[in-house]
Amino acid sequence: MTKKPMVWMDGVLMEQEKAVVPLMTHALHYGSGIFEGIRIYDTPKGKAVFRLTEHMARFLDSGKVLCMNIPYTVPQLCEAVKDVVRATVPEADYIRPIAYYGANAQGKITLNPAVFPLHVAIACATMGTYLGVESMENGCRVATSSWKKPSHESTSLTAKICGNYVNSILAKLESNQRGVEEALMLNQNGTVAEGPGENIYIVRKGKIITPPISAGILEGITKDSILTIAKDLGIEVVEREITRSEIFICDEFFFSGTAAELTPVRSLDERTIGTGKPGPITKMLQKAFFEAARGQNPKYDSWLSYINK
């Protein structure tokens, strides 16, 4: 018998096809939800979730921004994630926790969701290599989007709010329509922010340079992992504003994120980055990151939550 995808919804494991959402759900109309993206990796000790505790802590922090009273602790949510991974289809490699305002009993439409019921769910999916195997191995092509990131005055950019990602969708659609794999997004100051779902880095003269939180970026958990590994390898890291034209003349350029993992970039706006191939620092970090995520380096074992423990 074929195993069916399972989800955890409001404390109950159920088949994904039975986890229905009413049409008048507030989050469906207004984006009033928060979410996380988390990777599952195969390791010598079995399946493991990468930096699960940190993701669930950020999940609760995002909920605070939307005034959500999420009735679960970080340890409870971590155990729920493990339950879903154990129960669902074996090919699943990506976890999507989501909390959202639902539908009220009267079916009313109103912007303020404070009186609406809150729901929390955890699902799994098969992500694979997000930007493609070719991009992972040889670098992706990127175009600067005409859509800018919102400012810190417009929304909370440190929270993973569902509605915020319409901005990323517009950039993603535009970049794909232009025939490239991904977009580069600038902030309201005209300096570099991030990709639609990735933090960005350039390498110049042996140093990694990456935008700070003030540039309008998500405080990435994968980014924290990359910067930790870089410092452990003795690579200098500088967090500062980056201009678009500075990327044109950099030696290396790469993305990181839960979905993108660590993906090199070979061109921006049809300008070749460096040699047009992943550079030595990018390849070194990519190798070290996957060793950490796949349980092949005991130094980073604390980053892994093993499903069978």
Is the pLDDT at 124 greater than 70? The verdict is: yes
pLDDT band at 107 (very low <50, low <70, confident <90, very high): confident
Q: How far apart are CA 265 and CA 200, in angstroms?
A: 10
Mean pLDDT of 91-105: 95
- Helical pair 52-65 and 221-232, crossing angle rounded to 10 deg: 140
In three-state secondary structure terms, 113 is: coil
User: Is the four-CA dihedral 223, 227, 228, 229 of positive or negative sign?
Assistant: positive
Lowest pLDDT segment from 101-110, 245-254, 280-289: 101-110
pLDDT band at 309 (very low <50, low <70, confident <90, very high): confident
Q: How far apart are CA 222 and CA 36, in angstroms?
A: 12
Mean pLDDT of 245-254: 98
Which letter, b or e, does each residue of 126-153 get, where b requires 16 or more Cβ atoms within 10 Å of its Cβ? ebeebbeeebbeebbbbbbbebbbbeee
Superfamily of 133-293 according to CATH: D-amino Acid Aminotransferase, subunit A, domain 2 (3.20.10.10)
Q: How far apart are CA 176 and CA 142, in angstroms?
A: 9
Which residue among 47, 160, 172, 223 is the active-site one? 160
Cα distances from 215 to residues 24, 219, 224, 258, in angstroms, run 36, 11, 16, 20
Contact, 247 vs 268, CB < 8 A? yes
pLDDT band at 26 (very low <50, low <70, confident <90, very high): very high
Same fold, 6-125 and 133-293: no
User: Is the four-CA dihedral 215, 131, 293, 247 of positive or negative sign?
Assistant: negative
Pseudo-torsion of CA 95, 100, 105, 107, nearest 10°? -110
Is the pLDDT at 131 greater than 80? The verdict is: yes
DSSP string, 251-285: SEEEEEETTTEEEEEEEETTEE-TTSS--HHHHHH
Model confidence pTM above 0.85: yes
Residue type for position 115: V
Give residue 105's pLDDT.
Answer: 83
Question: Within 13 A of 172's CA, how many CA atoms are on the CB side?
Answer: 11
Q: What is the mean pLDDT of the chain?
A: 96
- Helical pair 74-87 and 52-65, crossing angle rounded to 10 deg: 120
Mean pLDDT of 6-12: 96
Q: Which residue has the tokens 């940190």?
A: 54
The pLDDT > 70 percentage for the chain reads: 100
Condensed to tens digits (0 to 9), the pLDDT of residues 155-213 reads 999 999 999 999 999 999 999 999 999 999 999 999 999 999 999 999 999 999 999 99
Is the pLDDT at 1 greater than 80? The verdict is: no
Q: Which residue has the tokens 């810190």?
A: 152
* Dmax (CA) of the chain: 62
Pick the CATH number of 6-125 from 3.40.50.300, 3.40.640.10, 3.30.470.10, 1.10.10.10: 3.30.470.10
Domain spans of the chain? 6-125, 133-293
In three-state secondary structure terms, 177 is: helix
Q: How far apart are CA 264 and CA 202, in angstroms?
A: 10
Annotation marks residue 160 as catalytic: yes
Is the pLDDT at 2 greater than 80? The verdict is: no
Condensed to tens digits (0 to 9), the pLDDT of residues 46-61 reads 999 999 999 999 999 9
